[in-house]
Amino acid sequence: MRLALARAALVRHRARTILAVLGVAVSAALLLDMVMLASGMRESFRQFLLVRGYQLRVSPKGTLPFDTEATIGGAAEIARVVRSNPDVVAVSPILGAQLYVLRPDSAAGGAAGERALTSFALGIEPAVQADYDLLSGRDAVAPDALVANDEFLALTGARVGDTLQAAVGYDPQLRSYAGRRRLVVAGRAAFHYMGADQAAAALPLATLQAMSGRADRVSLLMGRVRDGADVERVRAWIERAAPTVTAASVETALAQVDERLSYFRQLAFILGAISLVVGFLLVTTLVTVSVNERIGEIAVMRAIGVSRAHVVQQIVLEGVALSVSGALLGLALGLVTARYLNAILSDFPGLPANFDFFLFQPAYAWRALGLLVAAGILAGVYPSWRASSLPIATTLRQEAVA
């Protein structure tokens, strides 16, 4: 009975109801997008760090991984120390460097008769690497082998099986490239931590160390801890056992990210709160207008014995119907707009291809939309209770005179 009466009241003014639902949908979409932005960046970064299950990053003292060009000296000994911890099951050493692919070009302004195509190279140990997924071909196991992403292959025009002349340094005074070596493209890979349009390749760690003249040095060590072990305790142990490095767990990295992205989170919170208030005011206004138009009808219902609670429930159901309809429509609208906005923000230079600003998490999404529905319930309580509390005889007489 209550549902039928609430439905009839809403259908009676179709245009107003549709506009109200659309308004609530826009508020719900904005609220959902802000929740996705506030929680999505953090969760996306967590997934980004744990893509291959490595929970620890060991970098030069006082730096973040690849934050500077500093490297870890005595890398083999430090890796041995980290591996000695019984909770550490794998250690992956990584060295980063610029890689120049040299092509014949008589008109080039660099080294005589050559032009250089610049990319980024990682020195890795293929058995424990966590930086890429091999898509085709073979891994970079041989000393002269490399695997490259599609951007690298497009930049150089190379294919799997081709031999390239490469170098890792350039002397502007001598106008010559250092660390030259012939490398064979052994496979094609998708790199996890590179920018969406960054040309990148990976080759054996020992090869890149020899080419760059950085023997026994790495930019980073990644560590994987066994299931059930206390990652923070292992992190603290590494810093005590190897004072020349800084160890960061996923949680400490997330804390630093939270600090750097606090502006986005604050902005998302403010806009989300505004959308919630707007939705509440919109439903409150519509329900109040609807109740004021039906004061006489409500007085008649009370006069024939309909209880005050019945009247309140019927009007609150109208607010709930508006909020639920708008929330469901807003869910679809929010997902569409989030996908569009994420595509725009993901084009920012230097961001990894698989990093998301807006990440849909059902628990957070339903919690946010639940708040909007709760706001719809509260929006109908006051006007409905006020209308049902009016003196019946006086209200009927005023309506008759009017």
pLDDT digits (tens, 9 = 90+) for 334-383: 888 888 887 777 666 556 666 777 777 787 778 888 887 887 777 777 77
Mean pLDDT value across residues 306-324:
75
Residues 341 and 235 in one domain: no
CB 300 within 8 A of CB 287: no
Confidence check: pLDDT of 5 > 70: no
Q: Does some domain include residue 256?
A: no
Asked if 177 and 203 sit in the same domain, the reply is: yes
**124 and 272, same domain (yes or no):** no
In this structure, are 112 and 227 located in the same domain? yes
Angle at 339 between CA 333 and CA 341, to 5 degrees: 100
DSSP SS3 for 256: helix
**Considering 243, 272, 306, which residue would you say is the last residue of a domain?**
243
How many domains is the chain partitioned into structurally?
2
User: 212, 243, 274 — which closes off a domain?
Assistant: 243
CB 323 within 8 A of CB 331: no
* 278 shares a domain with 227: no
Same domain membership, residue 86 and residue 45: no
Residue 250 lies in a domain: no
- Tell me, yes or no, whether 328 and 396 share the same domain: yes
Same domain, 288 and 327: yes
- Kindly state whether residue 305 falls inside one of the protein's structural domains: yes
d(Cα 185, Cα 198) in Å, to the nearest integer? 17
pLDDT for the residue 374: 82
Q: 105 to each of 115, 131, 151, 164, 176, how far by Cα in Å?
A: 6, 33, 21, 15, 14
Task: Give the distance from CA 286 to its chain's centroid.
Answer: 37
Read off the tokens for 262.
């606090």
State the pLDDT confidence band at 259, using cuts at 50, 70 and 90. confident
Residue 43's Cα: distance from chain center in Å? 6
DSSP-derived letter for residue 139 is -
Question: What is the predicted pLDDT for the residue at 69?
Answer: 77
User: What whole-number distance in Å separates Cα of residue 246 and Cα of residue 112?
Assistant: 43
Domain that holds residue 141: 62-243
If asked whether residues 22 and 143 sit together in one domain, one would say no
Element (H, E) at 288: helix 262-293
pLDDT of res. 317: 79
Q: Is the pLDDT of residue 91 over 80?
A: yes
- Tell me what the mean pLDDT of segment 72-86 comes to: 92
Are 306 and 354 part of one and the same domain? yes
Percent of the chain whose pLDDT exceeds 90: 30
pLDDT tens digits, one per residue of 53-68: 888 999 998 777 776 7
Rounded CA separation 67/335 (Å): 34
- 54 lies in some domain: no
* CA 7-9-12 angle, 5° bins: 105
Compute the average pLDDT of residues 23-45.
Answer: 80
Q: Count CB-CB contacts under 10 A for residue 259.
A: 8
110 has pLDDT over 60: no
Partners of 164 in the beta sheet?
A: 183
**Residue 57 resides in a domain:** no
Q: Which of 193, 215, 243 is the last residue of a domain?
A: 243
* Same-domain status, 169 and 81: yes
Query: Which is more confident, 398 or 14?
Result: 14
Mean pLDDT across the chain: 81
81 and 31 in a single domain? The answer is: no
Residue among 31, 386, 85, 63 nearest 247 (CA): 63
Which tens digit of pLDDT belongs to each residue from 264-300? Answer: 778 778 888 888 888 888 878 877 777 777 676 677 7
Instruction: Label residue 121 by pLDDT band (50, 70, 90).
Output: very high
Of 151 and 42, the structure prediction assigns the larger pLDDT to 151
Q: Would 249 be classed as within a structural domain?
A: no
Write down the pLDDT at residue 184: 95
